[in-house]
Amino acid sequence: MAIEIDKWAVETLKANCPNWNILKADITKVSTDDIISNIKNVEIDLISGGYPCQSFSYAGKKLGLNDTRGTLFFDFARFLEAIKPKMFLAENVRGLVSHDDGKTLKVMIDIFESVGYYVQYKVLNALDYGVAQKRQRVFIIGTRRDIRAEIGEDFEFPKPHGKKLTLREVLKYVKVGGRWRDFPDNIAREYMKSTYFMGSGRTGIARRLSWDEARLIVLYTPSQKQTKRCHPDEIHPFSVRENARIQSFSDSWGFKGSKTQQYKQVGNAVPVNLVKEVGLSIIRYLDKLEKVVCLAS
């Protein structure tokens, strides 16, 4: 199940993952009892999510779970306490590590531990995991204490790749001196929309200039397609699809809503290849539990 409050993010998820169970709702109003009644006797492997980095009051409080009420962290933690998945994954901005001199993160870890989890965290840079972007996020991984005891070792975060991608490698749709017709066909159709079928060459659109030609007239805005003429080595401005490539989305993953909504979805996303590596590490870790069970039986 995925719980999402944003209408257009929900539409995007439904379009790309029609078999997913997606609940459009405000998580603060979702009852854990309703979720548990649907789970029945199934043990959940993972709860994952992100919540805003918010500091909590320290005025003489012991800061149990209820002391964070009114924050989205509270709702993340109450779902953990009620459902008790084998593991959880929480991601946040790198600044959470130093927020309020580290006190905010310490409160979160203390509460996660109080509801039965062994907690590890690490700041990972997307650039190290097949993403052409220097974007750092902190990943907090919790393992239910009985699960960790059964596996007998800590979770291991993914190791950085040796190769680092560049923008050239993920954005080079158009050769120097080329234009929109050099796009892959599916990208060209999305980019050009109805003008894709017009008879003229429309050679000025998404034109990548060459060092060997004179500069075209400097236009006042890059917002219209006919003004999107690109620097020979750089692309200005980045389109939704280009931003999506920088975030390591597949070209087959579409976005719903206005351009503003699409830019928002892409920008708010965690780089796909980065979180994929963390997810694969979680799978490898839980696979060790199955091996322990097999050996024991």
Tens of pLDDT along 86-138? 999 999 989 899 888 888 899 999 999 999 999 999 999 999 999 988 889 99
Largest CA distance in the chain: 75
pLDDT at residue 38 in the model: 80
**Gap between the Cα atoms of 92 and 139, Å rounded:** 7
Mind listing the domains of the chain with CATH numbers? 2-160+270-296 (3.40.50.150), 167-268 (no CATH)
Tokens in use for 23? 């609940």
Nearest alpha carbon to residue 94 among 46, 126, 57 = 126
Q: Indicate which residue of 17, 53, 230, 294 is catalytic.
A: 53
Using an 8 Å Cβ cutoff, are 55 and 95 in contact? no
Residue 24 to residue 35: CA distance in whole angstroms:
14
Distance CA 44, CA 81 (A): 12
Ramachandran angles phi, psi of 244, nearest 5°: -65, -40
C-alpha dihedral, 244 to 135 to 100 to 268, nearest 10°: 0
Is residue 53 flagged as an active site residue? yes
Phi-psi region of 130 (alpha: psi -120 to 50; beta: other; left: phi over 0): left
According to the model, what pLDDT value does residue 69 have? Answer: 83
Helix (H, G, I), strand (E, B) or coil at 188: helix
pTM over 0.85: no
The residue length of the chain stands at 297
- Helical spans, DSSP H, in the chain: 7-16, 32-39, 72-83, 103-114, 145-151, 167-171, 185-192, 240-246, 259-268, 272-296
| CB-side neighbour CA atoms (13 Å) of 45 | 10
- Residue ranges in the chain whose pLDDT is less than 50: 176-177, 180, 203-204, 209-232
Helix (H, G, I), strand (E, B) or coil at 37: helix
Mean pLDDT of the chain: 81
Quick one: pLDDT at residue 233? 54
**pLDDT at residue 59, as a whole number:** 57
